[in-house]
Structure 1
Amino acid sequence: MTRYAITEARIVDVVAGKILEGQAIVVEDGLIQAIVPQASLDAGLRKVSMGGRHVAPGLLDAHTHVFISQFNDGGDMLPSEMTARAGRQLSEMIDRGFTTVRDAGGADAGHKSAVDKGLFKGPRLFVSGKILSQTGGHGDHRARADYCSCSSASGTGTSVIADGVDAVRKAVRENARQGVDQIKIMAGGGVSSPGDKLKHPQYSLDEIRAITDEAELCGRYVMAHVYADRGIRRAVECGVRSIEHGNFLTPETAEIMARHDAVLVPTLITYWADGRFGMDFGWAPENQAKNEEVLEFGQESLKIAHAAGVTVGYGTDLCWSPKTYQGDGLAMHEAALGVVEALRCATVNNAKVLRLDGKAGVIAPGAWADFVVLDANPYDGLACFGHADNKVVAVVKDGIAQRDDRKLFAA
């Protein structure tokens, strides 16, 4: 049995939006057992002093791509090498303070198992497997002159083209058979795909209903890539639970999302990063123009969703731009929602997105002992999680230090 207490810490209470002092966090077998006055601790209990540093909940990223890192993945690079590279990406993610991530397509149950078994150092991983896309949809990356009707949109196996009610049901069942945690669909056009427009919804209503029904039958939920307001509304009314991106959300559709208890996962940092690096890694001018359009409206969608009572999560979606910017999107949320709510997006709100209420994203009894230790108060500004002015000095997952720059957890 592993039992100790974190002391001399300024505890970041993301629910109340305040800092707790004079309290100790009692950790036992990977869980938070209690939060008690430091003076009440048993004399014989091992104490781990933070030296007055701030201790925040481990961060959650609800839209990552750990398997994808280069624009030409699946061309010359084999999945075996991509998986080896994913191990490095996962290790770097947890070192940034992200103790739980949801992969939005590409990573599968094998990647998750590699983390769980300790083959890869990394965050707790929730995987989507192959993304479902209609022919000509955002997951269909064939060139216009390519008439191959392959079921997989690329050699990476990151998506599967499925058309019609029977085909999408089978695709959901196949993903479930392979052990995914949630089902990802393309419900609208995207920035990087050549054959669609951002405003065009994808999949028929019958197809989306079949997907959400099949997902519910096997205990999963559906997350949908979609930008256009019409596409968001269609998806939510057909049972999609998690809207990814959602940049063109209107107040009227946000009200519908709130009534259906749907959640929004914005991915603002990827547009900023891709705008900076896109032409270097192989984008066409058309891709760049789409990216500028979604970047322009991104922060407004956060404000609209929050005002309607929609849970706003935090995602990064850094596929081809450097994943080192993973923490920088928090400052963009801060600019839209304020520092307290922005930190909630990547903690307690994302816990709801991943259906981990009470387990992740909070420092509370019964939650996983996942912490980020900082040489700064995050409520003074979330740039402390960014790559340029990073103040993270330790990261703990399941009560075990994954990063410990100051040797705080050394026995």
Structure 2
Amino acid sequence: MPPAVSPLQISLLHHPGHGACCCGSPLLQRFHERMMADISRRQLIGGAAAVMALFAGLHAPASIGSQPKRQGGPLLLTNLALFDGNGTALREGVTVRIEEGRIQAILPQDAPAEGAELIDCGGRVLMPGLIDAHWHTTLAAISQVAAMTSDVGYVHLVAAQEAERTLMRGITSVRDVGGPSFALKRAIDEGIVAGPRIFPAGAMISQTSGHGDFRMRHDVPRGSTTPLSEQERQGVAAIADGEAEVLRRTREQLMLGATQIKLMAGGGVASTYDPLDSTQFTERELRAAVEAAEDWGTYVMVHVYTPRGIQRALRAGVKSIEHGQLADEETARMMAGEGAWWSLQPFLQDEDANVYPDAARREAQRQVAEGTVRAYELAQRFDIKTAWGTDILFSPQNTPNQLRQLAKLTRFYDPLTVLAMATGRNGELLALSGPRNPYPGTLGKIEPGALADLLLVDGDPSQNLDFLHDPERNLRLIIKGGRIYKDTLQG
């Protein structure tokens, strides 16, 4: 049986949210134990894949089993203003032709339909589908209480439902940064459920005592013959100490289909065992993962906040820094020099932030919030390749506000630059997975040959991003892979 949850802990669950990565929190730790024990009791070999297979033949609710409108031929989108994902000014007087799931051509306004289905966009803005570069597909939309007390099948069905809601918010691709998302990705790709394209990292690789070590104190010490924890066996996390173990765990995730590898290279705000200022994995251990990933044509990203941890990761060849809000000027300059990506989230200690009962974690959260403002300034000053992500975790009340996390960036950038970050720029980051990319083709841009993931919006992104606050009303057309998932133009 999982450990009991105290009244204080239950009261804290009424204030989940966003503000700093909390994947090392005690309640997350208990969730993993509860979830994986449930899997073990039911002997669901393959975890989420078996759960999905179990329900595939049932009559699913419309929110889970809905299918896109199927096109019999090409589409021609006309009478529109075009934002192509590059951050440049809107283009007028063009028509976009879609065929076989891709942008076939960008044509003059008066181009003939030539057998295509014509969609009059009414002068609205057509833009690429949005990309969230730091998303937890399985863990975003379920509360910690529900996750700890529910059947594991329920956890994955909630994730499937949230995947559709994510797509209906205009997020057509996500980079999953750790967790058992392989089955959901497969179900989406096969059309069993609707959702965004998923670039999965698989299990989060952590050192002992690191940000992905979810074991309880009574599980330590670990002997040479001690079996793996349930979390590890089911692909939530993987504990590795030493170059040989890091190499093995990295190769395992690549075998399972990881498009990139996630390592925990530093502490977190909500963590029990690893303080925010801790540096994790030696440079040799990090390099072992980097070399294994490079042998498969892909890259390593790391969870880390501090200058020391970031610099160590960069020296090891890591290509994407997740968080990094405590970076100083020297570290920012090093990121720019190495050509690394800075995957930032607007952790601003605002209405979306986690609520912590103790002063130590509130102080760590304050440091991260202050660092967030400084990080965006450094990223621009040193022209660092910057990605947008949300890192919403265990917050079903916050997932509907996913796009609000994008609109917040107009505090630091002009609106078109923000949109370019969440479309074309994030698409470039996804492409870093090279031959491991499960969706070959350009994402995040509207150009000939690109994958046809598109949004038609009510709003003027050259002025502001206010339309993002109400995607249900303001996203009039959602297209993924050339198929229409939402169309309210006739209404």
TM-score scaled by structure 1?
0.91
2:131 pairs, out of 60, 75, 86, with 60
For 1:146 and 1:288, the matched residues in 2 are separated by 28
Residue 336 of structure 1 pairs with residue 428 of structure 2: no
Residue aligned with 2:163, SS: helix
Residue 4 of structure 1 pairs with residue 75 of structure 2: yes
- Contact map agreement 2:246 2:289 (CA 8 A) in 1: yes
How many angstroms does 1:148 deviate by? 6.6
1:76 pairs, out of 144, 149, 153, with 149
Higher RCO, 1 or 2 (CA under 8 Å, sep at least 6)? 2
**Identity of matched residues, %:** 33
1:378 pairs, out of 449, 461, 466, with 461
1:209 pairs, out of 287, 300, 313, with 287
Q: Which residue of 2 aligns with 1:394?
A: 477
Q: Which residue of 1 aligns with 2:117?
A: 46
For 2:343 and 2:146, the matched residues in 1 are separated by 25
How many angstroms does 1:284 deviate by? 5.4
Q: AA paired with 2:468?
A: F
Residue 348 of structure 1 pairs with residue 419 of structure 2: no
**Pair 271,138 (structure 1): closer, same or farther in 2 beyond 3 Å:** farther
- Contact map agreement 2:73 2:117 (CA 8 A) in 1: no
1:300 pairs, out of 371, 374, 380, with 374
Q: Which residue of 1 aligns with 2:319?
A: 241
Q: Which moved more, 1:358-367 or 1:167-176?
A: 358-367
Question: Which structure 2 residues correspond to residues 230-379 of structure 1 after superposition, within 5 A?
Answer: 230-268=308-346, 272=350, 275=353, 277-279=354-356, 286-321=360-395, 322-355=398-431, 359-379=442-462
1:117 pairs, out of 175, 180, 190, with 190
For 1:141 and 1:291, the matched residues in 2 are separated by 21
For 1:334 and 1:269, the matched residues in 2 are separated by 14
**Pair 338,132 (structure 1): closer, same or farther in 2 beyond 3 Å:** same
Residue aligned with 1:192, SS: coil
For 1:386 and 1:161, the matched residues in 2 are separated by 39
Residue aligned with 1:6, SS: strand
**Pair 73,221 (structure 1): closer, same or farther in 2 beyond 3 Å:** farther
Q: Which residue of 1 aligns with 2:3?
A: none
Q: AA paired with 1:6?
A: L
**Pair 148,48 (structure 1): closer, same or farther in 2 beyond 3 Å:** farther
- Contact map agreement 1:58 1:370 (CA 8 A) in 2: yes
For 1:237 and 1:397, the matched residues in 2 are separated by 38
Q: Which moved more, 1:326-335 or 1:43-52?
A: 43-52
How many angstroms does 1:267 deviate by? 1.5
Q: Which moved more, 1:13-22 or 1:204-213?
A: 13-22
**Pair 284,92 (structure 1): closer, same or farther in 2 beyond 3 Å:** farther
The alignment's C-alpha RMSD in Å is: 2.4
For 1:144 and 1:388, the matched residues in 2 are separated by 44
For 2:152 and 2:281, the matched residues in 1 are separated by 28
- Contact map agreement 2:95 2:111 (CA 8 A) in 1: no
Residue aligned with 2:214, SS: coil
Aligned residues: 404
How many angstroms does 1:194 deviate by? 0.8
How many angstroms does 1:78 deviate by? 4.3
Q: AA paired with 2:418?
A: A
Residue aligned with 1:313, SS: strand
For 1:222 and 1:273, the matched residues in 2 are separated by 32
Q: Which moved more, 1:95-104 or 1:338-347?
A: 338-347
Unmatched 5+ residue regions in structure 1? none
TM-score scaled by structure 2?
0.77
1:102 pairs, out of 175, 180, 195, with 175
- Contact map agreement 1:326 1:386 (CA 8 A) in 2: no
- Contact map agreement 1:144 1:195 (CA 8 A) in 2: no
How many angstroms does 1:403 deviate by? 1.7
For 1:48 and 1:345, the matched residues in 2 are separated by 28
For 2:441 and 2:90, the matched residues in 1 are separated by 19
**Pair 367,383 (structure 1): closer, same or farther in 2 beyond 3 Å:** same
Compare CA radii of gyration and give the structure with the larger one. 2
**Pair 251,230 (structure 1): closer, same or farther in 2 beyond 3 Å:** same
- Contact map agreement 1:108 1:180 (CA 8 A) in 2: no
Residue aligned with 1:13, SS: coil
**Pair 191,360 (structure 1): closer, same or farther in 2 beyond 3 Å:** same
How many angstroms does 1:170 deviate by? 0.7
Q: Which residue of 1 aligns with 2:9?
A: none
- Contact map agreement 1:56 1:373 (CA 8 A) in 2: yes
**Pair 191,274 (structure 1): closer, same or farther in 2 beyond 3 Å:** farther
Residue aligned with 2:302, SS: strand
Q: Which residue of 1 aligns with 2:91?
A: 20
For 1:8 and 1:60, the matched residues in 2 are separated by 25
- Contact map agreement 2:137 2:181 (CA 8 A) in 1: no
- Contact map agreement 1:299 1:332 (CA 8 A) in 2: no
For 1:179 and 1:44, the matched residues in 2 are separated by 39
